[in-house]
Structure 1
Amino acid sequence: MTERIYRVSALAMAALLSFTHLASAADAPALERWRSYTGVSWDAPKEGVAPAAFSGSVGAPIAGVHFDAKGTAFVSTPRLVSPGVPATLSILDTKAEAGPARLTAFPSLQGNATDADPEQNLRNVLGFYVDRKNGWLWALDMGFVAGETESPAGSQKLLVLDLKSGRTVKRIALDGVADRKASFLNDVVVDESRRIAYISDSGSRSAPNNAVGLIVVDFASGNARRVLDRHPSLQIEPGVKVVSHGAEVWPGNPLLIGINGIALSPDARTLYWTVTTGTRARAVPTVILRQAGSTDVQIADKIQDLGAVGGNSDGLVTDAKGNLYITDVTRNGIVKYDPKANSMSLVASNEGVHWPDTPAIQPGGDLVFTSSSLNDHFAGSVKPGQERYELWRLPLSSRPAKAK
């Protein structure tokens, strides 16, 4: 039977947000403000002096973060606020704990240039995935940059890059499965063994009737297909408002984001997702997604409703044990879904967190997520010099967190 679709009113949403499944204070791990940056810089230090912040740092918020097997951090600075950001994908020097975030364009500044071939260069990366098994980085290029109403032909793509050399391993075109005017290619996760990528299309540029969908990409063949196109389980929920720090985000011009974060179980047999302008987490077996002949009706029949997250959400990640972690932008923290117990709980929260976005697991097993007040940057309400781009850490290993 196709899953039941829940419609939640704004009043019901408020009641829902007050009902938190908090872990006990004694058992809950504490969030640590791991790194805090005042802007970004692509300049190298000179004579031991830290570089000055890029003059347009307010238009370059750090959104995504992922780590390779050695702990090197890669970050995305999407060109959604300003098209003049020098690079949309970079390596972050985490040895620097403050000052401007020290970035090195990946694979190079030229490879991030917007005035070059849109089919080959990275123009606007929000979601990406570090593939530790194959030694690759899968960069999801949205195509369009701030100020463009349509993605240039060939710019919507999945670019697979070698982590060591930065060379392009493969380019997979997405224009055939994504709308150049309506799509918002948000996040990507990869089955590293099968070399299958799953992409979320939030369809935000076609709101309020978001052109949401899932895209399944096979590396070997280079084929991509779109499934669950405009399906209600991926769509914004009518009546739901996005709330951050107790206030509606963009009142009068509501934030309408469909499917956003996605994640795979460790065995890659289950795909998870949430809807930002929504309340629930869902899952589907990947075997049905990998079957080329499966229909949307057949796929929808396999969708599981995992329950209410407790707040609006953004990014997702799973740990080695199979637990799913969800960034909660309403309660400024992390929600854990335990698939064995089928339970959802807010395990950590801090008022210093402003829009927790992408979560990632470090090689040591701890969870790190970005917090950059993205909602305020996109609204243009952050003044130059006031930006703070932070990485927060949640210890999942046995070691205690440092007070900070």
Structure 2
Amino acid sequence: MVLARRDLIARGLTAATAVGLSRSAAAAPAPGTGPGQATTSRGAGAMELALLADAPSTSTGLAISRSGRVFVMMPRFNAKVPITVGEVAPDGSVRPYPSKAANRPDPKNPQASLLHVPNGVFDRDDTLWLLDAGLPEGKGPPVPGGAKLVQLDLAENRIRRVVPLEPGITPSSSLNDLRVDIRDGRAFAYITDQGQGEEGAILAVDLNDGRVVRRLQGHASTKSQKNLVKFVEHRPVMLRPETGPEKPVQGGANGIALSPDGRRLYYAPLIGRRLYAVDTASLLDPNASDAEVAAGVEDLGEKGMTGGLTTDAMDRVYLTLQEQNAVARRHPDGRIEVIASDERLIWADTFWITPDRWLYVTAAQVNRRPEYNGGADLQRPPYAILRVRIDADPAG
């Protein structure tokens, strides 16, 4: 059932126990489907409209606290974006978070202001972490000192800690997505660097001492794949300036997800159809060479054109199928099933799984931005956040 236009999702978010999935929604995948093959024996399930976020700019990132607080991230694709992080109110309005002042980009004081936040996540202690790429104008070299992780205190709505990422970035970096793993005495963060051209990379961060390591730069798994074009809303996504020829979109390492035990990192380029994995231990191992880390990368096969990724407690990887306005998941044995689709899911971007087994995803409308449409802004706010029931808990 589709919810009313401004109906907030908090009704289900506060449940402490998981809600069972109906037999029809949890139907087993068809027999005979092997690794890399999609389940086709049943149609994709319907999605609910959970929330319409009246955000002032392209709403890509999403993070939901256990108490039901909803946060969206709006990358500064250009300097005109008024805020880069906001909290969504019950009526769908979006207010700057943690404050208007913190959202005011200040290149002279980059550690104290949010410059360009594409994504954020909650850790197991329900602490919000934001990824700041340090790009107040959306492109060019990151502002010195601007690339960082920001830990927020939700009780006091203030910045608690800043972890600089300067040692792991390059002049062409464009940090994109984040996972934080704090448990059993370890505290790590993993970040994708999409890059501003063909090259991407993975950053691994030891949150205990702040050490940052850049890995897999130049590796095929983090590069934008050549001769590929993404189609969204039945149209090729190309950079279309107001004057001059159109150009293909490029994008390296983009979506990222962690296995439930935190020992395996899944990732994929924005422009690329294959899913990859690497052991997290190798990323931060000071004795492991770049070549040794690269040798441990697994090519997990075809997965479609995706943006964000996530995992559940059964180690299934969820895929934003941007070309099909759909959501799929990859099983550990390699089978892929499409579990939901919706015409409103335009440029499916960021997932979030709540403890009551709802899978949320943002419809970011990135393909409708001016840079892809000859300067015309075809976005239609408010931005939809849709959801579908699943049969598993979050991975973390």
Q: By the TM > 0.5 criterion, same fold?
A: yes
Q: Which amino acid aligns with 1:314?
A: G
Distance 2:284 2:159 in 1: 25
CA contact (8 A) 1:76 1:88 kept: yes
Q: Which amino acid aligns with 1:329?
A: Q
Distance 1:66 1:385 in 2: 22
Distance 1:333 1:170 in 2: 37
Name the structure 2 match of 1:36.
Answer: 52
5+ long unaligned stretches in structure 2: 1-35, 240-245
Q: Which of 247, 250, 271 is residue 256 of structure 1 equivalent to?
A: 250
Q: Deviations over 1:84-129 (max 9, x none)?
A: 3332112112x33xxxx31222221111111362122111100211
Q: CA deviation at 1:259?
A: 0.9
Name the structure 1 match of 2:86.
Answer: 90
- The within-5 A match list for 1:290-305 is 290-305=284-299
Name the structure 2 match of 1:337.
Answer: 330
SS at match of 2:68: coil
Distance 2:61 2:314 in 1: 23
Distance 1:388 1:25 in 2: 32
Distance 2:94 2:262 in 1: 32
Name the structure 1 match of 2:311.
Answer: 318
Tell me if 1:189 matches 2:179. Answer: yes
Tell me if 1:172 matches 2:163. Answer: yes
Q: Which amino acid aligns with 1:213?
A: A
Q: Would you identify which runs of 4 or more consecutive aligned residues in structure 1 move more than 6 Å? A: none
Q: Which amino acid aligns with 2:175?
A: L
TM superposition score normalised by structure 1? 0.80
SS at match of 2:283: helix
Distance 2:52 2:95 in 1: 18
C-alpha RMSD of the superposition: 2.1
Q: Are the structure 2 counterparts of residues 245 and 20 from structure 1 closer, same or farther at C-alpha, using a change threshold of 3 Å?
A: farther
SS at match of 2:38: coil
Name the structure 2 match of 1:63.
Answer: 60
CA contact (8 A) 1:258 1:275 kept: yes
Distance 1:36 1:166 in 2: 23
CA contact (8 A) 2:62 2:70 kept: yes
Distance 2:64 2:289 in 1: 35
Q: Are the structure 2 counterparts of residues 387 and 168 from structure 1 closer, same or farther at C-alpha, using a change threshold of 3 Å?
A: closer
SS at match of 1:334: strand
CA contact (8 A) 2:237 2:372 kept: no
CA contact (8 A) 1:30 1:395 kept: no
Name the structure 1 match of 2:4.
Answer: none
- The within-5 A match list for 1:222-371 is 222-250=210-238, 252-309=246-303, 311-339=304-332, 341-371=333-363
SS at match of 1:192: strand
Name the structure 1 match of 2:31.
Answer: none
Q: Deviations over 1:18-47 (max 9, x none)?
A: x97244326x4322222235x43xxxxxxx
Q: CA deviation at 1:170?
A: 2.2
Q: Deviations over 1:351-399 (max 9, x none)?
A: 332100001112311100000211211526454883341101111149x
Distance 1:174 1:333 in 2: 34
Q: Which moved more, 1:324-333 or 1:164-173?
A: 164-173
CA contact (8 A) 2:345 2:362 kept: no
Q: Percent identity?
A: 29
Distance 1:147 1:35 in 2: 27
Q: Are the structure 2 counterparts of residues 360 and 259 from structure 1 closer, same or farther at C-alpha, using a change threshold of 3 Å?
A: same
Q: Which amino acid aligns with 2:319?
A: I
SS at match of 1:233: helix
Q: CA deviation at 1:148?
A: 5.5
CA contact (8 A) 2:361 2:386 kept: yes
TM superposition score normalised by structure 2? 0.82
Q: Which amino acid aligns with 2:97?
A: F
Q: CA deviation at 1:345?
A: 2.4
Distance 1:85 1:338 in 2: 38
Q: Are the structure 2 counterparts of residues 21 and 380 from structure 1 closer, same or farther at C-alpha, using a change threshold of 3 Å?
A: closer
Q: Are the structure 2 counterparts of residues 74 and 385 from structure 1 closer, same or farther at C-alpha, using a change threshold of 3 Å?
A: closer
5+ long unaligned stretches in structure 1: 1-18, 41-56, 399-404
Q: Which of 215, 220, 226 is residue 203 of structure 2 equivalent to?
A: 215
Q: CA deviation at 1:289?
A: 1.6
